[in-house]
Amino acid sequence: MDKKFFGTAAVVAMTLTFAGSSYAATQLVLGTDAIYAAGGNVTAASLGGTTPGAINVTGQASVTFGPATGTVSLCAGCGLFNANGVVQSGANVASSNNNGIGNISGVSTTPGVAYLTAVFINGTAGATTQPTPIGGLVTAGFIAALNQVFVIGGGTITVNVPTNATALYFGISDACSYTGAPSCYADNTGSFTETYQVNAPVVNTTPVPPSIWLTLIGLACGAMYLGFNGLRANSRA
């Protein structure tokens, strides 16, 4: 770079800030999407289900979930449930709970069934032990652990992205007779459409005092002057 431009470039660089990329989108979650197959933890086929969908959350700050629409049934002739696990038609189920499998936690006792769940992972499943299972709809301020399944439900809630998380999976928690080891996904029907927004970290920009700007401009002018004189000297040599 020519010396006469160096000072100006330095001043301009001081004003640049870089932010992550926030975006909004939707995710289709099938009733057969087995949350326990996230990141290849186990094969979805071994549970009778399908592989859950995922989004990249590397370097992101939080995810705002909701709203979610649609209904899911966990067997032929069973009731239809919304993303909160609340029956919309047919037979109701009071509550359910599922064990974890592999490196991914289960879901402790939660009202209803077929609720919409999610899990953050790092690379693949990533952990050496299962996190503590939790149940019920998450609330404001909830901080998930890696590989810890949590219930999103159908409302709007913002959840912080755990440190080192690279992906977020959406799926359904299911087990035969609604309790025990993950299984019995093959006869599930229906789907949820989840709306979400990925929120980038906030970039803290501190205004530069006028006195510092004047100093920087003076330095830039000095650098330009020296560069110009250098070019003149070189041209005379």
Alpha-carbon dihedral sign for residues 115, 139, 52, 103: negative
Buried b / exposed e over 86-101, threshold 16 CB at 10 Å, is bbeeeeebeebbbbbb
Quote the CA–CA distance of 234 and 237 in Å, as a whole number.
5
**7 and 27 housed in the same domain:** no
Sheet strands side by side (includes 179-180): 107-111, 95-98, 179-180
**157 and 223 housed in the same domain:** no
**114 and 162 housed in the same domain:** yes
Q: What pLDDT is stored for residue 15 in this prediction?
A: 35
Whether the upstream peptide bond of residue 182 has omega within 30° of 0, thus cis, is: no
**192 and 89 housed in the same domain:** yes
**193 and 209 housed in the same domain:** no
Q: What pLDDT is stored for residue 224 in this prediction?
A: 60
Q: What pLDDT is stored for residue 127 in this prediction?
A: 54
**156 and 224 housed in the same domain:** no
**31 and 137 housed in the same domain:** yes
- Into how many domains does the chain fold? 2
**7 and 102 housed in the same domain:** no
Point out the residues of the chain with pLDDT beneath 70: 1-20, 124-128, 204-237
**134 and 179 housed in the same domain:** yes
Q: What pLDDT is stored for residue 229 in this prediction?
A: 55
- Could you tell me the residue range of the domain that residue 97 belongs to? 23-199
**156 and 226 housed in the same domain:** no
Q: What pLDDT is stored for residue 214 in this prediction?
A: 62
**73 and 145 housed in the same domain:** yes
pTM, two decimal places: 0.78
Please answer whether residues 68 and 194 qualify as being in contact, where contact means their C-beta atoms are separated by less than 8 angstroms. Answer: yes
